[in-house]
């Protein structure tokens, strides 16, 4: 049975990257049934569409979304990021950011093979913060980070389950910068 994939090529090199990614998946023997969605900065400039509720509901029916690159210099910062990327993350609960790495780091000879797992819908993504006294000499900006027990737990669980399935180096390492934060997770967490 073919995997149903929504493809958002987006802008710039995005369409080229998604085309090549699909070629690789098909060459690996993965059966795909793809549907292209015209979303991104160019679409926004053309007709104001970022991500309608109708399109969002269509995306819910797919097994996965393959996203290229989105955004153009003509669109103000934050418009596409909040209106497309974050909206998809929150509405579709796309809570895992999984980034594999295999290769040799600059200056090293030993190959590395690891996967970085990052929570994708909490932390700084919730948008807590703002600007006080905008446009004055006393202007100040704040950015908060909201992390729930549920959000952290499901991300950690995902990482451990992924590590247990690897053929080698079934290890999981937690990294954070809580040592410099006043309000932080206990060291035993």
157-173 confidence digits (pLDDT tens): 999 999 999 887 777 77
pLDDT for 4-53, tens place per residue? 999 999 999 999 999 999 999 999 999 999 999 999 999 999 999 999 99
Inter-residue long-range contacts of 180-186, CB under 8 Å, 24+ positions, other chains counted: 185/152
**Pair 131, 141: CB distance under 8 Å:** yes
Is the pLDDT reported for residue 189 higher than 90?
no
3-state secondary structure of 173: coil
Mean pLDDT of the chain: 90
Distances (CA, A) of 130 to 84, 136, 142: 21, 15, 5
More confident: 115 or 41: 41
pLDDT of res. 172? 75
**Pair 67, 8: CB distance under 8 Å:** yes
Kind of pairing between the strands at 64-69 and 3-10: parallel
**Pair 139, 132: CB distance under 8 Å:** yes
């Amino acid at each position: 049975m073919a995997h149903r994939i929504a493809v958002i090529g987006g802008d710039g090199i995005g369409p080229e990257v998604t085309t090549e990614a699909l070629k690789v998946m098909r060459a690996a023997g993965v059966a795909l049934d793809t549907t292209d969605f015209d979303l991104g900065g160019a679409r926004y400039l053309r007709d104001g569409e970022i991500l309608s509720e109708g399109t969002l509901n269509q995306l819910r029916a797919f097994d996965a979304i393959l996203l290229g690159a989105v955004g153009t210099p003509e669109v103000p910062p934050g418009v596409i990021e909040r209106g497309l990327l974050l909206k998809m993350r929150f509405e579709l609960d796309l809570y895992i950011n999984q980034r594999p790495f295999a290769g040799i780091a600059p200056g090293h000879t030993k190959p590395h093979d690891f996967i970085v797992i990052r929570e994708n819908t909490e932390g700084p993504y919730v948008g807590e913060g703002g600007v006080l006294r905008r446009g004055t000499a006393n202007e100040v900006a704040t950015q908060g980070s909201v992390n729930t027990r549920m959000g952290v737990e499901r991300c950690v669980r995902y990482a451990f389950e992924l590590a247990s399935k690897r053929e080698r180096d079934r290890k999981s390492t937690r990294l954070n910068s809580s040592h410099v934060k006043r309000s932080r997770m206990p060291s035993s967490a």
